[in-house]
Amino acid sequence: MTASYITLDWIDLALAATLVLVNGLLSLWLRLGMERQFLIAALRMCVQLGLMGLVLKTLFALVSPWLTALAVLVMVLFAGREIMARQERRFQGPWAYGLGTGSVLFAGTLVMLFALATQIQADPWYHPRYAIPLLGMILGNTMTGIAVGLNTLTERVARDKAAIETMLALGETRRAAFRPLVQNAVRNGLIPIVNAMSAAGVVSLPGMMTGQILSGVEPIEAIKYQILVMFLIAGGTGLGVVLAVHTGAARLSDARHRLRLDRLEVE
């Protein structure tokens, strides 16, 4: 017996949207001040996903490596903006946007290309049906890890300024002075993906697997794909967080082993 697809209409989506309205009402009742954020986030999500659907339909029809690369670039640029927006203390100048964007670009594209060339083996390898969804899942989690890692690093450096400068004055290298802070920042950046892997299958059923099962895919096949995706996400997050935090630590010091908090700006 073959499972059939369950199609959704606009009424189904409207009914589900009432849950967001409930959140808004709860915010009003508890005076959280988040009702506007819920509304904007919901509208933004619908518009963005609707536009993405149109873009993907075009990309799937054309199967152009240049258009796929352009879509990848746009996704990375938006991810970099989200990373920057989540920082309480940003790096000055181009580093504010470039550090997160460069890290997520390196980690996300490297892991995506690895998956396309080995496990997925798409033909052609750049087919947007495989490249774009894979990158989207990797980018979302890598972006979160990098944002948390960088925010932890800058907060800790500002807080522990006196301790860092004391270590440097006593002859420690900048690498040694920053090591505990870097370790803490990387650890915090990796906690979300560790928690996600630990809870998968027991506490939560990840979205991709759930979507495949609802669309009629055999559970075992859906689980294998979900495991693959979780491993890819973990790899991308690890690479991105380590690169971003170590580069950020290097930026907050110089070749003369001095602390450079002047390279940060507070929002």
pLDDT at 135: 94
Domain boundary among 14, 33, 62: 62
Prediction pTM value: 0.87
Give 264's strand partners.
91
pLDDT digits 0-9 by tens, 133-182: 999 999 999 999 999 999 999 999 999 999 999 999 888 999 999 999 99
What DSSP line would sit under 101-165, residue for residue? HHHHHHHHHHHHHHHIIIII--SSTT-HHHHHHHHHHHHHHHHHHHHHHHHHHHHHHHHTHHHHH
Q: How many domains does the chain have?
A: 2
Instruction: Indicate whether 139 and 211 sit together in one domain.
Output: yes
Instruction: Indicate whether 82 and 58 sit together in one domain.
Output: no
265 φ, ψ to 5°?
Answer: -130, 145
- Whole domain around residue 33: which residue ranges? 1-62
pLDDT digits 0-9 by tens, 79-123: 999 999 989 899 999 999 999 999 999 999 999 999 999 999 888
Instruction: Indicate whether 90 and 211 sit together in one domain.
Output: yes
Instruction: Indicate whether 58 and 68 sit together in one domain.
Output: no
121: left (phi over 0), alpha (psi -120 to 50) or beta: left
